[in-house]
Chains A and B, each alone.
Chain A
């Protein structure tokens, strides 16, 4: 058989193979996984929606912004990390800042955030933890460090007229250690914590 005829034959085989594979791997496989997910694990497959008074107010694993449109903190809520997703926590535009370690804009932003957090919480700027000063990789990080959550307890309690001890207890309930005790970092889920505050109101 000549090599050009062989090449044509192989191209025909390739076309037939890709048609079948597209049907099986591109349509059959994801549909089968969707079926199993929706039947057996539908809360997870749907992104763990958070329901308050019967309406969805977000997802338990996607962070939210607790600031006004200009980025000024609403003092009655625990604050999330800075976000580079759209105008902040835009679930349609996940992104990090991608600013490099020597980027002057990033250094300036970190210094300004440190001053702003210290002023909002009325604490020494040196005590503000790194996660409060840096944008996450996704821009949708639902978590902050326990240290940053603790820093915000007094302000949130004062703004809401709650006992500090009660707010402290809410934070501790939602402080998660690393998985299996050693994978990852300890976290506090800000969205769930603020959801608990909202439920106190209702």
Chain B
């Protein structure tokens, strides 16, 4: 394949998203601003005991988010612990405590980190009633928080951010469920399986035995991608032919991951009544997305490293039908969003090709990021960027007519600091505490040397950003990693949400001051460039030292 032809799949994805983001973005804006409730929604509100017209302050909205998530963790935990008595569990026993905790947290936080191998751990009951449900609702929670933040920016002296239960309901009934049904039918037509057959054994052409899995896969696959979740029905995730049978289903899955996150800037622009501001956010997301995906593709096509050169191409851990290009496009989309699904094994990528997914996550997953979380992540960076440019030119920093005072910049800074703290502290503890280090070295790490550090760094980066992909050689089903990664996933999801909603509350009670000659514009090419610059520089300064110890050293020594 020529170098130029290698970028045709990426171009296809860009064209589809360019056509999709306006109608979908406008539809989502209507969904969250409309005053009418569907009949079935009214029934749901009655069961919930919720009055849809009653609005919540940021504290009340946050309490609802946290209540819903706590109950979610408990339910997923209990379902795993009682697996042995649930129907369609394929004879599998209860999931052990540590692993059940890690998995419950993982799916509620939209991470879908999997310390386990699904084929030998989870039956259909837990996959459907616990995990698939969280695939829907964790995405809906992210979307709700993003919409609440946008309402805070749009409000004028009005503390109300909306009603979490209404936003949750509308996200599910009007966006995620219809989207998942359409996606599941397309995937079915593409050959993704959907049955309740369990494991069957066949005698192969050579007369040997082969075990073949079954399962309700297409229904789960659809929301796994549309909700930027990423947890595979099978261990091999989207590399498994039953999850992702062909090159076109793979590109379709890439589009599913990106569809909502890349449409949300339009929703944002429409809801604040300034579409250009939405385009500025979209522009910054797109620039990073295109740069990173291109770089990863070039790195893997170059195939540097001893093993790829010995084989003649970086095909270890890649499927023949996807090839190098179909693998890097998927891996980039998966780590630039919070999906974490894989159709190739990132642990076997070239040093630089494996570092780029890590950098994608270290950017805070904002290009375009997870469902909802990508938008609020990029908007926080926009606030920080305005603050910095305000300082540079000596003007009062304001974003969309909202003053960035001491309280606002503190909250934005806390948001920015949370993820790197979790990544670096988790990685450092794993190596600095002698007992943990022994366990990490002897049990967890698969690849020796520099690559082993990368495996642990990747795990904490993935957990803190709620991504869920892995350098999967790492054995994470140990007491330390199950616990530490579980805690990191929880804090990495909910601390930022606390800061985002608090910031939304503080913007909401402000009036919107009109733009004057002294206002730094945020919808110009220069401001988009500055936003990209701040996003990259914040990451570079924070993570360069540890990247130098891992993948950079491996790629250059």
Contacts and interface: CB of A to CB of B under 8 A. Distances in A.
B446 A98 contact: yes
A2 interface: no
Contacts of A77: 205-206
Contacts of B47: 16, 20
A14 B75 CA distance: 11
A57 B448 CA distance: 40
Contacts of A97: 316-317, 345, 348
Interface in A91-111: 91-103, 106-107, 110-111
A89 to B, nearest CB: 7
Nearest to A63: B241
Contacts of B447: 98-100, 102-103
A92 B320 contact: no
Contact of B49 (A13, A99, A139): A13
Interface size class of A (residues with CB under 8 A): 35 or more
Given A101-B350, A101-B554, A184-B322, A34 B216 contact: yes
Contacts of A94: 119, 234-236, 239-240
A7 B239 contact: no
B136 A25 contact: yes
A16 B68 CA distance: 10
Contact of B319 (A11, A34, A136, A180): A136
Interface in B225-273: 234-236, 239-242, 245-248, 250-251
Nearest to B44: A20
Interface residues of B, number: 120
Interface stretch (B301-309, B413-421, B483-491, B526-534): B301-309
Given A44-B188, A101-B348, A187 B195 contact: no
A181 B532 CA distance: 35
Contacts of A65: 204, 206, 208
A66 B206 contact: yes
A98 B205 contact: no
A179 B246 contact: yes
Contact of A101 (B240, B241, B245, B349): B349
A38 B194 contact: yes
B242 A10 contact: no
A41 B190 CA distance: 10
A195 B205 contact: yes
A183 B317 contact: no
Nearest to A46: B195
B471 A140 contact: no
B214 A36 contact: no
B35 interface: no
Contact of A33 (B194, B210, B242): B194
Given A6-B60, A136-B320, A90 B211 contact: yes
Contact of A22 (B133, B181, B216, B236): B133
A170 interface: no
B319 A14 contact: no
A180 B5 CA distance: 13
A25 B132 contact: yes
Nearest to B124: A30
Given A45-B188, A138-B241, A58 B318 contact: no
B160 to A, nearest CB: 15
A169 to B, nearest CB: 20
A198 interface: yes
Interface string A28-40: 0110111011100
A44 B189 contact: yes
Nearest to A106: B307
A184 B320 CA distance: 8
Contact of B321 (A15, A62, A184): A184
B205 A30 contact: no
A123 B342 CA distance: 35
A31 to B, nearest CB: 8
B133 A46 contact: no
A59 B314 CA distance: 27
A162 interface: no
Interface string B184-212: 11001111111111011011111010111
A26 interface: yes
Given A20-B44, A61-B245, A187 B321 contact: yes
Contacts of B59: 3
Nearest to B329: A183
Interface string B304-337: 1111101111111111111100110000000000
B172 to A, nearest CB: 7
A156 interface: no
B218 A37 contact: yes
Nearest to B220: A30
Contacts of B212: 47, 58-59, 62, 91
A54 interface: no
Nearest to B196: A34
Contacts of A100: 307, 347-348, 354, 446-447, 451, 454, 471, 473, 554
A21 to B, nearest CB: 6
Interface of A: 3, 6-7, 9-18, 20-22, 25-27, 29-30, 32-34, 36-38, 41, 44-48, 52, 55-59, 61-66, 69, 74, 77, 81, 85, 89-103, 106-107, 110-111, 114, 129-131, 133-145, 178-180, 182-185, 187, 191, 194-195, 198
14 contacts: A3-B59, A6-B63, A16-B48, A17-B165, A18-B137, A21-B133, A21-B137, A26-B128, A34-B219, A62-B210, A100-B446, A135-B316, A141-B319, A182-B8
Interface of B: 1, 5, 8-9, 12, 44, 47-50, 59-60, 63-64, 67-68, 70-72, 75, 117, 119-120, 128-130, 132-133, 136-137, 165, 168, 172, 177, 180-181, 184-185, 188-197, 199-200, 202-206, 208, 210-214, 216, 218-220, 234-236, 239-242, 245-248, 250-251, 304-308, 310-323, 326-327, 342-345, 347-351, 354, 446-451, 454, 471-473, 554
Those 7 A-B pairs whose CB atoms lie nearest each other, nearest first: A184-B247, A101-B305, A98-B473, A137-B239, A185-B323, A96-B345, A94-B236
Given A62-B242, A94-B239, 12 more contacts: A6-B63, A14-B70, A30-B132, A33-B188, A34-B194, A46-B197, A59-B242, A65-B208, A98-B471, A100-B348, A101-B305, A137-B345
